[in-house]
Amino acid sequence: MLELALIGFIALSVGGFLVGLLYPWLTGEAQAARRVQTISDKSARRDSRPGLRARLMAESKDSRRKQIQESLKQLEETERKRRRRLTLRTLLMQSGLDLSVQKLWVASIVFGVVLALAILTIGAAWYVALTAGLVGLLGLPRWFLSHLRKRRQEVFLSEFPDAIDIMVRGLKAGLPLSDAMKVIAAEIPAPVGPEFLEVVEGQRLGIAIDQGIERMLERMPLAEVNFLGIVIAIQSKTGGNLAEALGNLSKVLRDRKRMKQKIAAVSQEAKASAMIIGSLPFFICGALSVLNPEYLIPLWDTEIGHVMIAGSLSWMGTGILVMRKIINFEF
């Protein structure tokens, strides 16, 4: 009996092993697994090849990228032309003065002659009066126009982000871009309002908005205006959510404004030091002239003293320009 039980146990073990080994082939699971694997491989190979929709989307992205590159190239060319040497007419336009070039030249000549006569009246040499007249004729008018231009640009930059926000809110409310610009022209004070009014008036004459922004860039040569022109030019050619793009632009403009204010605060100490260093020689010279007038007589009455004065002023001017270049940041 023990031998029969042992043989039966061995037979059952071998049979169970064979059944477990051959079960997939007996039930057809192996064929089903091979079929599933074959279908999966075919689908994987089919998915590896891009479909019609994917190819069309890729082509549309490529064409949009090419359009954006072409737009950026055109804007770079416009910016390169704008950065050429400023003429007197351009300075007058950018400074906001309603004055012709002929009237400016007449005023400059009168101012130069008056300044030269005033220098001659106090007893200075003729070449000093001639130099003063040339400065009054050529230097001071351009400096005055540059000062007005810079001040107008600073006022424009302080109000420009608010104008962009008005455009964003108008577009989200369903207004067209031209109507949003009309709101800016009516609500924002000068110089932002009149600049956008020029764009709106240009539309009535058949000038597109992107071309109007390019003309605004000629009157107000700022990087922020160039950003607006890039956004509108790209959106007009490639499409997209203009409200979202202008919202991002407004955020960038405000970040740039905060960065400029931070740079001005950090560099204020260096500017104060430069002002003190630049004014110290003149202060000491004036104090010595009051306390001991005879001490500086050789400096004014001898030829060597005149050469020393000219050399000192030249080196001081060079140092002031170098310090100004160091502490003024442009980005």
pLDDT digits 0-9 by tens, 40-86: 665 545 544 555 455 545 555 566 566 656 665 666 666 566 555 66
Nearest-angstrom CA–CA distance, 99 and 4: 126
Residue owning tokens 């005149």: 306
What is the structure's pLDDT at 307? 86
pLDDT at res. 141: 85
User: Which range is least confidently modeled, 3-12, 153-162, 182-191, 217-226?
Assistant: 3-12
Mean pLDDT of 24-38: 59
The reported pLDDT for the residue numbered 56 is: 47
Q: How far apart are CA 192 and CA 204, in angstroms?
A: 19
Count CB neighbours of 28 within 10 A: 10
* pLDDT tens-digit series, residues 302-319: 888 888 888 888 888 888
The predicted model scores a pTM of: 0.65
Percentage of the chain beyond pLDDT 70 is 73
Q: For residue 286, what pLDDT is reported?
A: 87
Q: Are 163 and 191 in contact (CB under 8 A)?
A: no
Place of tokens 């400074």: 95
| Cα Rg, the chain, nearest whole Å | 39
Q: Where are the domains of the chain?
A: 152-253, 267-331
The per-residue pLDDT for 139 is: 83
Predicted pLDDT at 184: 92
pLDDT at position 264 over 90? no
Which residues, including other chains, have CB under 8 Å from residue 215's CB and lie 6 or more apart?
198, 199, 202, 207
Lookup result for tokens 């057809």: 28
Please check the confidence at residue 164 and state whether its pLDDT lies above 90: yes
Span of 23-27, 187-191, 277-281, 323-327 with lowest mean pLDDT: 23-27
pLDDT computed for residue 131 by the predictor: 85
